[in-house]
Protein backbone atom coordinates (compact mmCIF):
# COMPACT_ATOMS: atom_id res chain seq x y z
CA UNK A 1 0.00 0.00 0.00
CA UNK A 2 1.22 3.43 -0.98
CA UNK A 3 -0.29 6.32 1.00
CA UNK A 4 0.28 9.93 0.00
CA UNK A 5 -0.56 12.02 3.05
CA UNK A 6 -0.64 15.80 3.31
CA UNK A 7 0.01 17.01 6.86
CA UNK A 8 -1.23 20.48 7.77
CA UNK A 9 -0.25 20.70 11.43
CA UNK A 10 -1.55 24.25 11.94
CA UNK A 11 -1.23 26.21 15.17
CA UNK A 12 -0.82 25.89 18.94
CA UNK A 13 -0.69 22.24 19.98
CA UNK A 14 -1.48 21.19 16.36
CA UNK A 15 2.19 20.58 15.42
CA UNK A 16 2.94 18.89 18.77
CA UNK A 17 0.17 16.28 18.55
CA UNK A 18 0.43 15.82 14.77
CA UNK A 19 4.11 15.06 15.08
CA UNK A 20 3.41 12.19 17.48
CA UNK A 21 0.59 10.82 15.33
CA UNK A 22 2.74 10.90 12.20
CA UNK A 23 5.54 9.03 13.97
CA UNK A 24 3.05 6.29 14.93
CA UNK A 25 1.80 6.11 11.33
CA UNK A 26 5.36 5.90 10.01
CA UNK A 27 6.14 3.04 12.38
CA UNK A 28 2.99 1.08 11.51
CA UNK A 29 3.31 1.59 7.75
CA UNK A 30 6.99 0.58 7.75
CA UNK A 31 6.30 -2.55 9.85
CA UNK A 32 3.62 -3.66 7.37
CA UNK A 33 5.91 -3.05 4.38
CA UNK A 34 3.78 -0.10 3.20
CA UNK A 35 4.98 3.26 1.89
CA UNK A 36 3.97 6.53 3.49
CA UNK A 37 4.79 9.61 1.39
CA UNK A 38 4.46 12.69 3.59
CA UNK A 39 4.14 16.29 2.52
CA UNK A 40 3.83 19.21 4.98
CA UNK A 41 2.00 22.49 4.23
CA UNK A 42 0.75 25.48 6.18
CA UNK A 43 -2.84 26.27 7.20
CA UNK A 44 -4.45 28.63 9.74
CA UNK A 45 -2.56 31.22 11.80
CA UNK A 46 0.90 30.10 10.71
CA UNK A 47 -0.19 30.54 7.08
CA UNK A 48 -1.63 34.01 7.80
CA UNK A 49 1.69 35.06 9.34
CA UNK A 50 3.84 33.53 6.60
CA UNK A 51 1.71 33.69 3.46
CA UNK A 52 -0.91 36.34 4.30
CA UNK A 53 -3.85 33.94 3.93
CA UNK A 54 -5.27 31.12 6.11
CA UNK A 55 -5.38 28.66 3.18
CA UNK A 56 -2.51 29.25 0.72
CA UNK A 57 -3.13 28.04 -2.85
CA UNK A 58 -0.24 25.56 -2.71
CA UNK A 59 -1.70 23.95 0.43
CA UNK A 60 -5.03 23.46 -1.31
CA UNK A 61 -3.37 22.13 -4.47
CA UNK A 62 -1.30 19.66 -2.41
CA UNK A 63 -4.45 18.60 -0.52
CA UNK A 64 -6.32 17.88 -3.73
CA UNK A 65 -3.35 15.86 -5.04
CA UNK A 66 -3.05 13.68 -1.92
CA UNK A 67 -4.85 10.50 -0.78
CA UNK A 68 -5.76 12.07 2.56
CA UNK A 69 -5.21 15.24 4.57
CA UNK A 70 -4.24 15.17 8.26
CA UNK A 71 -5.06 18.49 9.92
CA UNK A 72 -3.78 19.33 13.42
CA UNK A 73 -5.72 22.36 14.65
CA UNK A 74 -5.90 26.04 13.79
CA UNK A 75 -6.40 29.23 15.78
CA UNK A 76 -4.63 31.52 18.18
CA UNK A 77 -5.51 34.41 20.47
CA UNK A 78 -3.47 36.87 18.38
CA UNK A 79 -5.91 36.41 15.48
CA UNK A 80 -9.11 36.90 17.50
CA UNK A 81 -9.60 40.54 16.42
CA UNK A 82 -9.59 39.67 12.69
CA UNK A 83 -12.90 39.50 10.76
CA UNK A 84 -14.26 35.91 10.42
CA UNK A 85 -13.16 35.48 6.79
CA UNK A 86 -9.55 36.43 7.62
CA UNK A 87 -9.14 34.28 10.74
CA UNK A 88 -7.31 30.92 10.93
CA UNK A 89 -10.66 29.09 11.19
CA UNK A 90 -11.56 30.42 7.70
CA UNK A 91 -8.75 28.21 6.36
CA UNK A 92 -10.34 25.19 8.00
CA UNK A 93 -13.80 25.92 6.59
CA UNK A 94 -12.31 26.58 3.14
CA UNK A 95 -10.36 23.31 2.99
CA UNK A 96 -13.35 21.32 4.30
CA UNK A 97 -15.58 22.74 1.62
CA UNK A 98 -12.96 22.38 -1.18
CA UNK A 99 -12.40 18.72 -0.32
CA UNK A 100 -16.17 18.21 -0.36
CA UNK A 101 -16.52 15.53 2.34
CA UNK A 102 -20.17 15.25 3.38
CA UNK A 103 -19.97 12.44 5.95
CA UNK A 104 -18.39 13.39 9.25
CA UNK A 105 -17.45 10.40 11.37
CA UNK A 106 -16.97 11.04 15.02
CA UNK A 107 -16.47 8.20 17.45
CA UNK A 108 -17.45 8.56 21.11
CA UNK A 109 -16.15 5.74 23.26
CA UNK A 110 -15.42 5.05 26.88
CA UNK A 111 -12.10 3.93 28.28
CA UNK A 112 -12.63 2.06 31.55
CA UNK A 113 -9.45 3.59 32.97
CA UNK A 114 -10.69 7.13 32.23
CA UNK A 115 -14.15 6.77 33.76
CA UNK A 116 -13.08 9.13 36.55
CA UNK A 117 -12.74 11.91 33.93
CA UNK A 118 -16.37 11.61 32.84
CA UNK A 119 -19.23 13.32 34.68
CA UNK A 120 -21.29 10.17 33.96
CA UNK A 121 -21.16 7.16 36.30
CA UNK A 122 -18.81 4.41 35.17
CA UNK A 123 -21.56 1.74 35.18
CA UNK A 124 -23.42 3.82 32.57
CA UNK A 125 -20.52 4.51 30.21
CA UNK A 126 -18.43 1.36 30.60
CA UNK A 127 -18.27 -0.37 27.21
CA UNK A 128 -19.93 2.51 25.30
CA UNK A 129 -18.69 2.66 21.71
CA UNK A 130 -20.66 4.92 19.37
CA UNK A 131 -19.86 6.12 15.86
CA UNK A 132 -21.68 9.32 14.92
CA UNK A 133 -22.19 9.74 11.19
CA UNK A 134 -23.19 13.35 10.66
CA UNK A 135 -24.19 14.93 7.35
CA UNK A 136 -21.85 17.88 7.01
CA UNK A 137 -22.69 20.00 4.00
CA UNK A 138 -26.47 20.40 4.20
CA UNK A 139 -29.24 21.42 6.55
CA UNK A 140 -29.57 24.71 8.40
CA UNK A 141 -25.85 25.58 8.16
CA UNK A 142 -25.92 25.84 4.36
CA UNK A 143 -29.59 26.05 3.29
CA UNK A 144 -30.75 29.10 1.34
CA UNK A 145 -32.41 31.52 1.84
CA UNK A 146 -30.79 32.73 5.03
CA UNK A 147 -30.83 36.26 6.35
CA UNK A 148 -30.93 38.55 9.36
CA UNK A 149 -33.14 41.50 8.48
CA UNK A 150 -32.07 43.89 11.21
CA UNK A 151 -34.57 46.59 10.25
CA UNK A 152 -37.52 44.19 10.61
CA UNK A 153 -36.04 42.40 13.60
CA UNK A 154 -36.47 39.12 11.73
CA UNK A 155 -34.05 36.37 10.77
CA UNK A 156 -34.36 33.02 9.01
CA UNK A 157 -32.40 29.96 7.99
CA UNK A 158 -33.50 27.11 5.79
CA UNK A 159 -33.27 23.41 6.56
CA UNK A 160 -33.32 21.71 3.19
CA UNK A 161 -32.28 18.19 2.24
CA UNK A 162 -32.36 16.18 -0.91
CA UNK A 163 -32.15 12.38 -0.61
CA UNK A 164 -28.82 12.03 1.04
CA UNK A 165 -25.79 9.87 0.29
CA UNK A 166 -24.63 10.00 3.89
CA UNK A 167 -27.36 7.50 4.75
CA UNK A 168 -25.81 4.75 2.60
CA UNK A 169 -22.36 5.43 4.10
CA UNK A 170 -23.77 5.07 7.62
CA UNK A 171 -25.39 1.72 6.82
CA UNK A 172 -22.23 0.33 5.29
CA UNK A 173 -20.21 1.43 8.34
CA UNK A 174 -22.78 -0.24 10.63
CA UNK A 175 -22.34 -3.44 8.63
CA UNK A 176 -18.64 -3.45 9.58
CA UNK A 177 -19.39 -2.80 13.28
CA UNK A 178 -22.14 -4.22 15.53
CA UNK A 179 -24.79 -3.94 12.78
CA UNK A 180 -27.05 -1.47 14.56
CA UNK A 181 -28.05 1.92 13.21
CA UNK A 182 -30.07 4.58 14.99
CA UNK A 183 -31.32 7.37 12.73
CA UNK A 184 -32.06 10.64 14.52
CA UNK A 185 -34.67 13.07 13.25
CA UNK A 186 -37.63 15.22 14.25
CA UNK A 187 -40.13 13.55 11.93
CA UNK A 188 -43.04 14.35 14.25
CA UNK A 189 -42.63 18.06 13.40
CA UNK A 190 -40.37 18.65 10.37
CA UNK A 191 -41.08 17.74 6.72
CA UNK A 192 -37.32 17.59 6.15
CA UNK A 193 -37.15 14.86 8.78
CA UNK A 194 -40.05 13.02 7.18
CA UNK A 195 -38.08 12.87 3.90
CA UNK A 196 -34.98 11.83 5.89
CA UNK A 197 -36.85 9.00 7.64
CA UNK A 198 -38.51 7.76 4.44
CA UNK A 199 -35.11 7.67 2.70
CA UNK A 200 -33.48 5.86 5.63
CA UNK A 201 -36.24 3.21 5.52
CA UNK A 202 -35.80 2.80 1.76
CA UNK A 203 -31.99 2.47 1.98
CA UNK A 204 -32.34 0.04 4.92
CA UNK A 205 -33.82 -2.52 2.51
CA UNK A 206 -30.36 -2.80 0.90
CA UNK A 207 -28.82 -3.66 4.30
CA UNK A 208 -31.09 -6.36 5.77
CA UNK A 209 -28.40 -7.43 8.27
CA UNK A 210 -28.39 -3.99 9.93
CA UNK A 211 -30.93 -3.48 12.72
CA UNK A 212 -32.55 -0.05 12.30
CA UNK A 213 -34.21 2.16 14.88
CA UNK A 214 -35.42 5.76 14.73
CA UNK A 215 -35.26 8.29 17.57
CA UNK A 216 -36.45 11.87 17.81
CA UNK A 217 -33.54 14.21 18.50
CA UNK A 218 -34.89 15.48 21.84
CA UNK A 219 -35.36 11.96 23.21
CA UNK A 220 -31.99 10.95 21.81
CA UNK A 221 -30.21 13.68 23.79
CA UNK A 222 -31.51 11.92 26.91
CA UNK A 223 -30.92 8.30 25.78
CA UNK A 224 -27.27 9.07 25.01
CA UNK A 225 -26.67 10.07 28.60
CA UNK A 226 -28.86 7.34 30.17
CA UNK A 227 -27.87 4.34 28.07
CA UNK A 228 -25.00 5.13 25.67
CA UNK A 229 -24.03 1.44 25.46
CA UNK A 230 -27.20 0.67 23.48
CA UNK A 231 -26.01 2.61 20.42
CA UNK A 232 -23.64 1.61 17.65
CA UNK A 233 -23.86 3.87 14.56
CA UNK A 234 -25.89 7.04 15.10
CA UNK A 235 -26.91 8.75 11.85
CA UNK A 236 -27.91 12.40 11.90
CA UNK A 237 -28.36 15.50 9.77
CA UNK A 238 -25.93 18.39 10.28
CA UNK A 239 -27.30 20.43 13.22
CA UNK A 240 -28.56 17.45 15.26
CA UNK A 241 -25.20 15.72 14.80
CA UNK A 242 -23.25 18.79 15.85
CA UNK A 243 -25.12 18.96 19.14
CA UNK A 244 -25.35 15.22 19.93
CA UNK A 245 -21.72 14.41 19.10
CA UNK A 246 -20.48 17.21 21.35
CA UNK A 247 -22.81 16.03 24.10
CA UNK A 248 -21.40 12.51 23.76
CA UNK A 249 -17.85 13.82 24.14
CA UNK A 250 -18.46 13.57 27.88
CA UNK A 251 -18.47 9.78 27.58
CA UNK A 252 -14.75 9.83 26.82
CA UNK A 253 -13.97 12.48 29.38
CA UNK A 254 -11.28 14.54 27.61
CA UNK A 255 -11.30 16.52 24.39
CA UNK A 256 -7.76 15.36 23.78
CA UNK A 257 -8.86 11.75 23.19
CA UNK A 258 -11.22 12.07 20.23
CA UNK A 259 -10.52 11.68 16.52
CA UNK A 260 -12.68 12.53 13.49
CA UNK A 261 -12.83 11.86 9.77
CA UNK A 262 -14.70 13.58 6.98
CA UNK A 263 -15.26 11.29 4.02
CA UNK A 264 -17.26 11.04 0.80
CA UNK A 265 -15.67 13.98 -1.04
CA UNK A 266 -12.68 14.31 -3.35
CA UNK A 267 -10.12 13.68 -0.59
CA UNK A 268 -10.80 12.54 2.97
CA UNK A 269 -9.94 14.97 5.76
CA UNK A 270 -8.85 13.73 9.18
CA UNK A 271 -8.57 15.84 12.35
CA UNK A 272 -8.62 15.38 16.10
CA UNK A 273 -11.73 17.15 17.38
CA UNK A 274 -9.91 19.48 19.75
CA UNK A 275 -8.68 22.99 18.86
CA UNK A 276 -5.23 24.56 19.07
CA UNK A 277 -5.38 24.89 22.90
CA UNK A 278 -3.24 28.07 23.15
CA UNK A 279 -3.35 27.76 26.97
CA UNK A 280 -1.09 24.70 26.92
CA UNK A 281 0.76 25.11 23.59
CA UNK A 282 4.54 24.65 23.64
CA UNK A 283 4.57 23.16 27.15
CA UNK A 284 4.58 19.44 26.31
CA UNK A 285 1.19 19.09 28.05
CA UNK A 286 -0.96 18.27 25.02
CA UNK A 287 -2.53 14.84 24.84
CA UNK A 288 -1.59 13.34 21.46
CA UNK A 289 -4.05 10.41 21.67
CA UNK A 290 -6.86 12.15 19.72
CA UNK A 291 -4.36 12.79 16.92
CA UNK A 292 -2.94 9.26 17.12
CA UNK A 293 -6.45 7.78 16.90
CA UNK A 294 -7.08 10.10 13.96
CA UNK A 295 -4.13 8.35 12.30
CA UNK A 296 -5.92 5.04 12.90
CA UNK A 297 -8.97 6.40 11.07
CA UNK A 298 -6.75 7.28 8.07
CA UNK A 299 -5.57 3.68 7.94
CA UNK A 300 -9.15 2.36 8.23
CA UNK A 301 -11.04 4.69 5.90
CA UNK A 302 -8.45 5.71 3.29
CA UNK A 303 -5.72 3.06 3.31
CA UNK A 304 -8.00 0.06 3.96
CA UNK A 305 -5.57 -1.22 6.62
CA UNK A 306 -8.08 -2.37 9.25
CA UNK A 307 -5.70 -4.59 11.24
CA UNK A 308 -3.16 -1.78 11.55
CA UNK A 309 -5.87 0.72 12.57
CA UNK A 310 -7.13 -1.70 15.22
CA UNK A 311 -3.55 -2.24 16.44
CA UNK A 312 -3.15 1.51 17.07
CA UNK A 313 -6.47 1.58 18.97
CA UNK A 314 -5.48 -1.45 21.08
CA UNK A 315 -2.11 0.13 21.84
CA UNK A 316 -3.80 3.25 23.19
CA UNK A 317 -5.96 1.06 25.45
CA UNK A 318 -2.94 -0.88 26.66
CA UNK A 319 -0.98 2.28 27.45
CA UNK A 320 -3.92 3.57 29.51
CA UNK A 321 -4.35 0.19 31.22
CA UNK A 322 -0.71 0.36 32.29
CA UNK A 323 -1.42 3.67 34.03
CA UNK A 324 0.21 6.15 31.65
CA UNK A 325 -1.59 9.49 31.35
CA UNK A 326 -1.06 12.97 29.98
CA UNK A 327 -1.85 15.81 32.40
CA UNK A 328 -5.44 16.31 31.15
CA UNK A 329 -6.20 12.65 32.07
CA UNK A 330 -4.55 12.66 35.48
CA UNK A 331 -7.33 14.11 37.59
CA UNK A 332 -8.33 13.18 41.09
CA UNK A 333 -6.40 10.36 42.69
CA UNK A 334 -3.23 9.92 40.62
CA UNK A 335 -1.78 7.15 42.76
CA UNK A 336 -0.34 4.42 40.55
CA UNK A 337 -0.40 6.65 37.48
CA UNK A 338 2.59 7.92 35.50
CA UNK A 339 2.10 11.33 33.97
CA UNK A 340 3.81 11.71 30.60
CA UNK A 341 4.58 14.63 28.30
CA UNK A 342 3.23 14.78 24.74
CA UNK A 343 6.32 13.19 23.23
CA UNK A 344 6.62 10.56 25.97
CA UNK A 345 3.00 9.50 25.42
CA UNK A 346 3.62 9.33 21.66
CA UNK A 347 6.69 7.16 22.25
CA UNK A 348 4.74 4.84 24.60
CA UNK A 349 2.02 4.23 22.00
CA UNK A 350 4.67 3.68 19.30
CA UNK A 351 6.57 1.17 21.41
CA UNK A 352 3.31 -0.68 22.23
CA UNK A 353 2.04 -0.81 18.65
CA UNK A 354 5.41 -2.15 17.55
CA UNK A 355 5.15 -4.98 20.10
CA UNK A 356 1.53 -5.74 19.14
CA UNK A 357 2.26 -5.91 15.43
CA UNK A 358 5.35 -8.04 16.03
CA UNK A 359 3.25 -10.54 18.02
CA UNK A 360 0.50 -10.65 15.39
CA UNK A 361 2.99 -11.19 12.55
CA UNK A 362 4.59 -14.06 14.53
CA UNK A 363 1.14 -15.60 14.97
CA UNK A 364 0.49 -15.35 11.23
CA UNK A 365 3.93 -16.77 10.31
P1 LIG B 1 -9.62 23.83 22.46
O2 LIG B 1 -10.11 22.50 22.01
O3 LIG B 1 -8.40 24.32 21.79
O4 LIG B 1 -9.34 23.79 24.04
C5 LIG B 1 -10.36 23.63 25.02
C6 LIG B 1 -9.73 23.13 26.34
O7 LIG B 1 -9.34 21.75 26.16
C8 LIG B 1 -8.47 23.89 26.73
O9 LIG B 1 -8.42 24.00 28.11
C10 LIG B 1 -7.34 23.01 26.24
O11 LIG B 1 -6.16 23.13 26.99
C12 LIG B 1 -7.94 21.62 26.38
N13 LIG B 1 -7.42 20.72 25.32
C14 LIG B 1 -7.78 20.71 24.02
N15 LIG B 1 -7.08 19.77 23.36
C16 LIG B 1 -6.29 19.19 24.28
C17 LIG B 1 -5.33 18.14 24.19
N18 LIG B 1 -5.04 17.51 23.04
N19 LIG B 1 -4.67 17.80 25.33
C20 LIG B 1 -4.93 18.40 26.50
N21 LIG B 1 -5.84 19.38 26.64
C22 LIG B 1 -6.50 19.77 25.53
O23 LIG B 1 -10.83 24.85 22.25
P24 LIG B 1 -10.86 26.43 22.49
O25 LIG B 1 -10.02 26.80 23.66
O26 LIG B 1 -12.29 26.78 22.46
O27 LIG B 1 -10.21 27.06 21.19
C28 LIG B 1 -8.84 27.43 21.07
C29 LIG B 1 -8.57 27.79 19.62
O30 LIG B 1 -8.75 26.61 18.79
C31 LIG B 1 -9.52 28.84 19.07
O32 LIG B 1 -8.79 29.69 18.23
C33 LIG B 1 -10.54 28.03 18.28
O34 LIG B 1 -11.13 28.76 17.24
C35 LIG B 1 -9.66 26.94 17.74
N36 LIG B 1 -10.37 25.71 17.39
C37 LIG B 1 -9.91 25.03 16.30
C38 LIG B 1 -10.49 23.82 15.97
C39 LIG B 1 -9.91 23.08 14.79
O40 LIG B 1 -8.86 23.46 14.30
N41 LIG B 1 -10.54 22.02 14.33
C42 LIG B 1 -11.51 23.27 16.74
C43 LIG B 1 -11.94 23.96 17.88
C44 LIG B 1 -11.36 25.18 18.20
What's the rounded Cα separation, in Å, for the pair 260 and 249?
12
What's the rounded Cα separation, in Å, for the pair 243 and 218?
11
Which fold does the domain 119-252 belong to in CATH?
Isopropylmalate Dehydrogenase (3.40.718)
φ, ψ of residue 207 in degrees (nearest 5): -130, 65
The candidate with the shortest Cα–Cα distance to 25, out of 290, 258, 308, 340, is 308
Q: What is the CATH number of domain 1-102+260-365?
A: 3.40.718.10
Give the tens place of pLDDT for each residue, 210-228. 999 999 999 999 999 999 9
- List the chain domain ranges: 1-102+260-365, 119-252
Q: Which residues pair with 69 in a beta bridge?
A: 6, 269
Q: Which atom of ligand 1 is nearest to the CA of 278?
A: 28
Cβ 259 vs Cβ 158: under 8 Å:
no
C-alpha 231 to ligand 1 mean position (Å): 27
C-alpha 143 to ligand 1 mean position (Å): 28
**pLDDT by residue for the chain (365 residues), tens digit each?**
999 999 999 999 999 999 999 999 999 999 999 999 999 999 999 999 999 999 999 999 999 999 999 999 999 999 999 998 899 999 998 999 899 999 999 999 999 889 888 899 999 999 999 999 999 988 998 889 999 999 999 999 999 998 888 999 999 999 999 999 999 999 999 999 999 999 999 999 999 999 999 999 999 999 999 999 999 999 999 999 999 998 998 998 888 999 999 999 999 999 999 999 999 999 999 999 999 999 999 999 999 999 999 999 999 999 999 999 999 999 777 889 999 999 999 999 999 999 999 887 776 66
What lines the ligand 1 site, CB under 6 Å? 13, 17, 73-76, 89, 92, 255-256, 271, 274-280, 286-287, 290, 328
- Hey, whose CA ends up nearest to atom 40 of ligand 1? 73
C-alpha 274 to ligand 1 mean position (Å): 5
- The residues that are catalytic are 141, 186, 218, 242, 246
Domains 1-102+260-365 and 119-252 share a fold: yes
- Hey, whose CA ends up nearest to atom 44 of ligand 1? 275
Q: What stretch of H or E contains 294?
A: helix 289-301
What pLDDT is stored for residue 197 in this prediction?
A: 97
Q: Which atom of ligand 1 is nearest to the CA of 286?
A: 19
Cβ 127 vs Cβ 231: under 8 Å:
no
Task: Give the list of residues 6+ apart from residue 222 with CB closer than 8 angstroms, or none.
Answer: none
End-to-end CA distance of the chain: 20
Q: Which atom of ligand 1 is nearest to the CA of 89?
A: 34
Q: How many CB atoms lie within 10 A of CB 180?
A: 15
What pLDDT is stored for residue 364 in this prediction?
A: 64
CA distances, 347 to each of 8, 13, 308, 317 (Å)? 21, 17, 17, 14
Question: What does the DSSP 8-state code read for residue 232?
Answer: S
C-alpha 276 to ligand 1 mean position (Å): 5
Amino acid sequence: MNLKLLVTAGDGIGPEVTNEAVKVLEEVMALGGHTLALEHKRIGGIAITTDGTPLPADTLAAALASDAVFLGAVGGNEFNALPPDKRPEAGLLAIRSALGGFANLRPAFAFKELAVNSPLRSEIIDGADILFVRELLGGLYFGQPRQWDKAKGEAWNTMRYTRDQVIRIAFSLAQKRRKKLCSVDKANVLEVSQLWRATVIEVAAEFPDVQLEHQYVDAMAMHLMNRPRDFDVVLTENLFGDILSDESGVITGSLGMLPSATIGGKVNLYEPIHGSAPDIAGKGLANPIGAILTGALILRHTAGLEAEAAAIESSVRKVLERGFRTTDLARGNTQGLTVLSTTEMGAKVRETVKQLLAVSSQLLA
